[in-house]
Amino acid sequence: MPRIEPLSPPYDPEVQASFDRIMPPGAEPLVLFRTMATSERAWGKFRAGSLLDKGPLTLRQREVLIDRTCARAGCEYEWGVHVAIFAERVGLTAEQVAATVQAGPEAACWGEEDAALVRLADALHERASLSSGEWASLRALFSEAQILEALMVCGFYRTVAYLANGLDLPLEPGAARFPG
């Protein structure tokens, strides 16, 4: 059991409406969402910080960042949810999915842009900063708006990792598991 008891159905109509906006029809809300929704303030702030809407990054770029950030933070919960839902949709190969956990940006499976995103997530994980050289490398491939969004995605999913790991959330049924 997670450290905070998640909400159980039936949900308050406002909470149900918020779940309906973010979950596929008929899908049970994620344990993370049901746990966050135990606090109206926390749930509202959490949803306001989400970056899964259309922005300057492609869905694939966001997923590379999310998967790598969660893997580096040891957050199998969120990594597994994203891999299960998005990896195939964005064209991540099994080798690339495994590399988000087991390899670095130098892995042969990464193209130039993906490797740059993995390097970005790694730098933020290791130092919470970017060197001038790292910034210049990113600027050669991405716009300032894309880099700003990438920084925000990494920060948001680091927060998600803190929540999922700190709350000791059980892994979702059907979610991917870290490779052995």
Q: Can you give 81-113 as a three-state secondary structure string?
A: HHHHHHHCCCCCCHHHHHHHHHCCCCCCCCCHH
Q: How many CB atoms lie within 10 A of CB 177?
A: 12
Q: Would the pLDDT of 81 be above 90? A: yes
CA distances to 12, 124, 134 from 32, rounded to whole Å, are 17, 24, 33
Provide the residue ranges of all domains of the chain, joining segments of one domain with +. 13-49, 59-166
Query: 């990464």: which residue's tokens?
Result: 110
pLDDT of residue 40: 96
- Cβ-in-10-Å burial (0-12, 13-18, 19+) of 92 comes to buried
Q: How many CB atoms lie within 10 A of CB 78?
A: 25
* Domain 59-166 fold: AhpD-like (1.20.1290)
Residue 138 host element (H or E)? helix 132-141
> Is the per-residue pLDDT at 52 higher than 80?
no
* Interatomic CA distance for residues 23 and 10, integer angstroms: 16
| C-alpha dihedral sign at 90, 92, 94, 99 | negative
| Cα–Cα dist 146/30, whole Å | 28
Cis preceding linkage at 24, omega within 30: no
CB atoms inside a 10 Å sphere around CB 135? 14
Q: What is the mean pLDDT of the chain?
A: 96
Confidence of residue 57 (pLDDT cuts 50, 70, 90): very high
Q: What is the model's pTM?
A: 0.96
Q: What is the spatial distance between Cα 154 and Cα 68, in angstroms, rounded to a whole number?
A: 9
Q: How many CB atoms lie within 10 A of CB 101?
A: 19
Residue 156: is its pLDDT beyond 90? yes
**pLDDT tens for each residue of 3-39:** 999 999 999 999 999 999 999 999 999 999 999 999 9
